[in-house]
Structures are given as C-alpha cells and as structure tokens.
Structure 1
Amino acid sequence: MAQIPGGYSEIKLAAPETQKICDAVKSKVEEKTGEQYEVFNARRYRSQVVAGMNYVIKVHVGGSHYLHLMVYQNLSGEVTFNSVKKVEEPLEPF
C-alpha cells in the first residue's frame, strides 16, 4: 500500500538508524517514565515526512514490555523526544 501524502508510512522493521534515534532519546524517556531500562531496542517504526521526519517507534524494554515513542528529527539530524506510551496497542501516532 502506498503512503498517503502527509500521512504515516506502513510499519517497517527498525534499522540501525532507528536504534540511533532511540539511543539519543533514552534518557528523556527514562526521565518521563521514572524508570531505568537495561534493554532499549527499537523493533518497528512508522515515519511521516514533514520539515524533517516524525517517527512512531516501538521499543522493547525487557520481558514482554514495550514502549511507543513519538520522536522528531529535523533536517540537520537533531532528534527531539515528544512523548511515550506504555501500552500494547498497534503502532499508531498519538
């Protein structure tokens, strides 16, 4: 299925670049959730082209636990953490 202009992509397997984005925001996620994560592995993601890129990333944090992160990466590559959700729902923007 083709991506709708302005919409989010289909769900894709995380790549090394996706993990780098997660690593960049890990401390902000830990601060927001009040938890420390020994495991923090990007698994899947969706992206949206804007003036930069919005990402929704599913991150495995150990056991059967996952987080969904909303992250923005500007055109110069700087990454900004927006929000986190601790639920087992489909990977959707929030």
Structure 2
Amino acid sequence: MDQVVGGTGSVQVATPEIQKICDEVKPQVEQKTSRTFEVFVAKSFATQVVSGMNYFIKVQVGGEEYAHLKVFQSLPHAGHKLELLSVQTGKTLDEPIVYF
C-alpha cells in the first residue's frame, strides 16, 4: 500500500540508512536529554511524508531502555538536512512507535 502524504507508514526494521540518521542526530538527542548514550542502536522506524520526511525511530539507548526520535529530513533542494524535532525517553522494546 502506498503511503499517503501526511500519513505515517507502517513500522519497519531499521536499515543502515536509518542507523546513519541516528548517528547524525545523536549529539542533538544527548543535548536535548542532558544524557550521554554509550549504546545508540536503531531498531525500527516509520516515516511520514511532509515537505520532506519525518522519521519516527525506536533507538536502544542501553540495556532495556529505548527512546523514540522524531527526525525531519528536508527535501533535496534544501540539502537533505536532518533536524531532531522531538525525543521521548523511558520507552520499552514493545512500546509501539506512534505519532508524537
């Protein structure tokens, strides 16, 4: 099923491209949460087509703790820049990724 502009797609297993996005925004996550993460591994994600792309990413941040990231990637003409829009900590592996 094709994704509708503005709607979120289905949750998928994280890819190397998603891990790269996480690696790039990790300093922003650490700044926003005032924490340092030794572990920062993307596990799953969903996308939302906007004027660019929103990524909703579940990241393992240590042990059984996970965080949900909302990352915006601009369109090609704007340089495909990444911006951390929001982060939710204290999540679990089983908690679904939802719009936030």
| 1:4 to partner: Cα distance | 4.2
* TM-score relative to the length of structure 2: 0.87
Unaligned runs of 5+ in 1: none
Deviation at 1:2, TM superposition (A): 5.2
Task: Tell me what 1:22 maps to.
Answer: 22
What is the alpha-carbon distance in structure 1 between the residues aligned to residue 38 and residue 97 of structure 2? Answer: 22
For residues 56 and 47 of structure 1, the distance between their equivalents in structure 2, rounded to whole angstroms, comes to: 6
> How far apart are 1:77 and its partner, in Å?
1.5
* RMSD of equivalent CA atoms: 1.3
In structure 2, stretches of 5+ residues that fail to align are none
Which secondary structure state, in structure 1, belongs to the residue aligned with residue 39 of structure 2? Answer: coil
The residue aligned with 2:13 is: 13
Equivalent in the alignment of 1:31: 31
Deviation at 1:60, TM superposition (A): 0.4
TM-score normalised according to structure 1 size: 0.92
User: Which residue identity is paired with 2:71?
Assistant: V
Tell me whether 1:91 sits opposite 2:92 in the alignment.
Answer: no
Q: CA deviation at 1:6?
A: 2.2
Measure how far apart 1:90 and its partner are.
1.3
Q: Does 1:59 align with 2:65?
A: no
Deviations 1:36-61 (A, max 9, x none): 00110111000011111001000001
Identity level (%): 49
Distance 1:18 1:12 in 2: 10
1:78 to 81, 84, 87: 81
